[in-house]
Amino acid sequence: MVDERKYKAASFLIQLLSHLLLYAYWNHPYYLPHWTDEIDNFRLEFAIELAVSLSGNLQSCLRTAWLLLSKSTGKSESKSGLTLPVDCPCTIEKILDEDWLPG
């Protein structure tokens, strides 16, 4: 049960990071309200799973999620010319802050 909860939390974190990147780099303002709604939903889901299962392992989970996301966006990066930083530019505090969006 604990491993399943950790997996779910990590999955929500990856989705949250992915949508934060979309919000930060998508060039069409038309989509921003959609990304904002998705970010809010994934923040809620991640916060719920976090409260239950991951409180002591956050930094490790964030590093792993960022690494997986970076690998999965490699093809998109080469097409767009965008290069993601090696380390996640967001802190857990920022990610969970309902008022924060990447600029």
The count of domains in the chain is: 1
| Domain interval for residue 17 | 2-96
Residue 90 has a CB neighbour count (10 Å cut-off) of 19
pLDDT of the residue at 44: 85
How confident is the model at residue 17, as a pLDDT?
92
pTM: 0.67
DSSP 31: G
Is the residue at 103 inside a domain?
no
Classify residue 62: in a domain, yes or no.
Answer: yes
List Cβ neighbours of 81 (8 Å cut-off, separation of 6 or more).
none
Tell me the helices (H) and strands (E) count for the chain, helix number first: 5, 0
Structure tokens at 65: 């999620």
Best CA proximity match to 103, nearest among 44, 43, 20, 34: 20
Q: What parts of the chain have a pLDDT lower than 50? A: none
